[in-house]
C-alpha cells in the first residue's frame, strides 16, 4: 500500500478520535511494564482498577513487588482477569529486574533499540508487545507495539498482509509512518478497533476511513 494512503487514513483518524487522557501520565518504566502486563485481554477500566488496587498493597517497584507474596498480587489484580498468569509474570519480572539490573530498567532502555528489545524479552513474563510498550511509552524509542486491535485494523486496512506475524506487522507499520507518529498510530489504531473496527461486527457503514479500506469487514474474524 502507498505511504500516501496511510498518511490520509492517519490524518482522518487523528481528526475523529480522541487520545486517552492517561497518555499524558509520565510513568516510570517499571510501572509501565506492570500496567502492560495487567492490561492484556482486558479493558482500560479494569486495568486501571487492578493497578490502583495493586498500588495500595505494594509500591510499584521491582524491589517491593519481588517481596510481595503471589497471593497478594493475585488478589489485587483479580478484576483484570487471567490474574494468576499475570501475577506470576509481574513477580518474575520484578525478581529478574532486581537481580539482573539492580532494580533499574533505565540502562536497558537506553541501549540501541534492537539490543534493548532483546534484553527486555530475556526477562520472563515480557514478550514482544510488552517490550515495545515499555520502549515506546517510557523510553520514547521508535517502535510500534502490536496488540490485538492494531493487528486486526492494520490487516483490514491493508497496511500489512493478512497472515503477517507480530514482527512483520510492526516493521511494515514502521515503514509506512513517520517515527514521530508511532505513538499516535499505536493509540489511534487501538481506539478505532475498539470503537468501530470491532473484531466480530465491524461498523463499516460508520467508519470514517471506509473509502480507503480494501476489505470493508470481509475479513471479520481477523
State the minimum distance, in angstroms, from the CB of residue 204 to ligand SF4.
Answer: 3
Q: Does 196 bind ligand SF4 (CB under 6 A)?
A: yes
Q: Does 204 bind ligand SF4 (CB under 6 A)?
A: yes
Binding test (CB under 6 A) with ligand SF4, winner from 134, 164, 173, 209? 209
In the complex with ligand SF4, the residue whose CB is nearer, 121 or 204, is 204
Q: Does 202 bind ligand SF4 (CB under 6 A)?
A: yes
Binding test (CB under 6 A) with ligand SF4, winner from 28, 68, 156, 162? 156
Stretch that binds ligand SF4, among 63-71, 91-99, 130-138, 199-207 (CB under 6 A): 199-207
Q: Does 217 bind ligand SF4 (CB under 6 A)?
A: yes
Q: Does 155 bind ligand SF4 (CB under 6 A)?
A: no
Residue by residue, DSSP assigns 64-127 as HHHHS-HHHHHHHTGGGS-HHHHHHHHHHHHHHHHHHHTT--HHHHTS-HHHHHHHHHTSTT--
Residue 185 neighbours by CB distance under 10 Å: 23
Report residue 176 CA to chain centroid gap: 19
State the minimum distance, in angstroms, from the CB of residue 143 to ligand SF4.
Answer: 23
Q: Which of 135, 131, 173 is nearest to 153 (CA)?
A: 173
In the complex with ligand SF4, the residue whose CB is nearer, 82 or 208, is 208
**40/42 Cα distance (integer angstroms):** 6
In the complex with ligand SF4, the residue whose CB is nearer, 163 or 180, is 163
Stretch that binds ligand SF4, among 36-44, 125-133, 173-181, 211-219 (CB under 6 A): 211-219
**218/62 Cα distance (integer angstroms):** 45
Element (H, E) at 205: none
Q: Does 16 bind ligand SF4 (CB under 6 A)?
A: no
**190/53 Cα distance (integer angstroms):** 25
Report residue 205 CA to chain centroid gap: 27
Binding site for ligand SF4 (CB under 6 A): 156-157, 196-197, 202-204, 207, 209-210, 213, 215-217
Amino acid at each position: 500500500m502507498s505511504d500516501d494512503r496511510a498518511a490520509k487514513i492517519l490524518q482522518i483518524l487523528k481528526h475523529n478520535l480522541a487520545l486517552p487522557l492517561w497518555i499524558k501520565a509520565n510513568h516510570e518504566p517499571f510501572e509501565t511494564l506492570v500496567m502492560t502486563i495487567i492490561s492484556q485481554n482486558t479493558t482500560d477500566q479494569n486495568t486501571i482498577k487492578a493497578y490502583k488496587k495493586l498500588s495500595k498493597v505494594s509500591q510499584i517497584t521491582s524491589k517491593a513487588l519481588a517481596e510481595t507474596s503471589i497471593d497478594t498480587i493475585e488478589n489485587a489484580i483479580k478484576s483484570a482477569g487471567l490474574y494468576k498468569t499475570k501475577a506470576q509474570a509481574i513477580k518474575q519480572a520484578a525478581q529478574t529486574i532486581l537481580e539482573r539490573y539492580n532494580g533499574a530498567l533505565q540502562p536497558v532502555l537506553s541501549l540501541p533499540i534492537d539490543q534493548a528489545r532483546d534484553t527486555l524479552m530475556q526477562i520472563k513474563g515480557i514478550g514482544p508487545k510488552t517490550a515495545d510498550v515499555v520502549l515506546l511509552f517510557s523510553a520514547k524509542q521508535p517502535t510500534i507495539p502490536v496488540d490485538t486491535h492494531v493487528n486486526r485494523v492494520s490487516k483490514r486496512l491493508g497496511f500489512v498482509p493478512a497472515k503477517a506475524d507480530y514482527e512483520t506487522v510492526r516493521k511494515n507499520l514502521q515503514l509506512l509512518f513517520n517515527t514521530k507518529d508511532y505513538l499516535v498510530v499505536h493509540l489511534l489504531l487501538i481506539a478505532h478497533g475498539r470503537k468501530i473496527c470491532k473484531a466480530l461486527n465491524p461498523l463499516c457503514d460508520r467508519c470514517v476511513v471506509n473509502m480507503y479500506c480494501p476489505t470493508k469487514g470481509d475479513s471479520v474474524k481477523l
